[in-house]
Amino acid sequence: MKKTISLSLLAVGFLAALAFSQSQDRIVISIIGGEKKKIALPDFRGAGGATPLVDTFNQTVFDDIQRSGLFDMASKSFYPLNPPQQESDLRPTPAPPPARRGEPPAAPNCGGRCLSDWSGAPVSAGYLGFGYAAEQGGQLVVFGHLYNVAVPDIAGAKLFRKLYNAPLTADGARKLGHDYAADILAQFGAPSLAGSKIYFISTRSGSKEIWSMDFDGSNQQQITSFRSITTFPAISPDGRRLAFTTYAKGQPRIMVYSTETKRFIPFLNPEAPMNATPSFTPDGQHILFSSSISGFAQIYIADLDGRNLRRLSNSRAIEVEAKVNPKTGTDMVFVSGRGGLQQIYRMNMDGADPMRLTTGEGEASNPAWHPDGKAIAFAWTRGFAPGNWNIFLMDVASRETVQLTHGQGRNENPGWGPDGRHLVFSSNRAGGSQIFTMLADGTEVKQLTTQGQNEKPVWTK
């Protein structure tokens, strides 16, 4: 009898684990998609003044395509020795040579000039990108192609052929690499991250200031120079306004900055010991923030200039980090200690129907809505000692969660990329706190910063 009970418990445990695994798969697949496609990207060659720049172009293309998470990258060690550079290099696949007695037919081989050289073993790719770079009239010119090598007919296999040009500089080569990669991704309905910006907090200048950088970590620039503590940046949906908390005038206050004019925009802070953790509504017309007007930090909403202040939450607990659902605009998530340790809650925009989303285990913080308004990313200490945080995803409707980081230091402040497939976050896995990006399944982790301590990133298109 005891043996039967034990086996039953084992079966129940197995089924529960299987259901949990399948729920995690559902969350991840709904965000980043299913099976990856395999692509071969032989290096473009350069002529004339393009020769010293072509390596920058090639590396940019490879990094952008790999970072997208849409593709498996065919190993270059398996590439044919003579890849095409232009359309005229391609040859129809010839008939296979006669098979020797007792041996299977040999596959035709064109040395890289036939599509079958790329679709067959050992490359086994589904898609082939190729081209070349040259100098024309003092400009860098690149001809880029993409073919579906599963289609045997050369004309039918061509997906696009495009001409790109830019200044004959490393920045020009990098731009054309981003442009060509973006056109490849567009064939599969995926937006490029090129042109998007990440704002973050850095100590590299001697105090906590706001900095910005491109999505791949390049072009890092200082934005504020208060020589004080500046933190919790938030970017408007159109990328034109940056709101943040600063101690530059003593007590923590909200300030707003125009990313277009590079000037500060007036914001009327209520008279309170603390005003902090701002965020924008999806229409970009209001700012939510936490204020201690009532004695406890509560959630408020105001116009972009701070006027028409309204209180949204009502508890005798600290409540911060309010984020409005980007799809509905009618509900929000926020961090509250109303039940004890800080947890993530959800409520309507009028403050009605508050409910806890996290289980109450550990501490939870830093919620960030996925662009589709169905899932959030957040930091959680569940299952770990106090102070050890990891990044999780939650399907808000079902409250199912999946853990993305595991035992690699303190991981916090997740923010979604404009493509809805990538996350930016801070982690001390490399020593001090630095900024990283990853796919929403926890893979393709890239470190973007190395100088100073860096934290609280937000990503905008």
The pLDDT tens digits for 280-301 are: 999 999 999 999 999 999 999 9
The pLDDT tens digits for 164-220 are: 999 999 999 999 999 999 999 999 999 999 999 999 999 999 999 999 999 999 999
**Cis omega (within 30 of 0) for bond into 191:** no
| Percent of residues, the chain, with pLDDT higher than 90 | 86
What average pLDDT does range 65-69 have in this prediction?
94
pLDDT of residue 94: 87
Share the mean pLDDT of the chain.
92
Alpha-carbon dihedral sign for residues 351, 357, 358, 360: positive
4 pLDDT tier (thresholds 50, 70, 90): very low
Assess whether pLDDT exceeds 80 at residue 48. yes
pLDDT of residue 385: 61
The pLDDT tens digits for 325-368 are: 999 999 999 999 999 999 999 999 999 999 999 999 999 999 99
pLDDT of residue 386: 60
What average pLDDT does range 29-56 have in this prediction?
93
* pTM, rounded to two decimals: 0.90
Q: Angle 137-138-139 (CA atoms, 0-180°, nearest 5)?
A: 90
What average pLDDT does range 26-36 have in this prediction?
81
pLDDT of residue 15: 36
387 pLDDT tier (thresholds 50, 70, 90): low
**φ, ψ of residue 3 in degrees (nearest 5):** -65, -40
Assess whether pLDDT exceeds 70 at residue 43. yes
More confident residue, 387 or 285: 285
Assess whether pLDDT exceeds 80 at residue 6. no
User: What gap in Å lies between CA 249 and CA 157, rounded to an integer?
Assistant: 63
pLDDT of residue 32: 81
DSSP 218-229: -S-EE----SSB
29 pLDDT tier (thresholds 50, 70, 90): confident
Alpha-carbon dihedral sign for residues 404, 408, 413, 414: negative
Q: Which domains are delineated in the chain?
A: 37-91+110-186 (3.40.50.10070), 197-460 (2.120.10.30)
Amino acid sitting at position 110: C
- Single out the residue of 444, 445, 440, 446 nearest to residue 25, CA to CA: 440
More confident residue, 48 or 25: 48
What average pLDDT does range 424-442 have in this prediction?
96
pLDDT of residue 106: 66
Assess whether pLDDT exceeds 70 at residue 7. no
| Percent of residues, the chain, with pLDDT higher than 70 | 92
Q: Which two tokens stand for residue 249?
A: 């005038």
The pLDDT tens digits for 219-261 are: 999 999 999 999 999 999 999 999 999 999 999 999 999 999 9
DSSP 57-72: HHHHHHHHHHHHSSEE
pLDDT of residue 139: 97
pLDDT of residue 384: 65
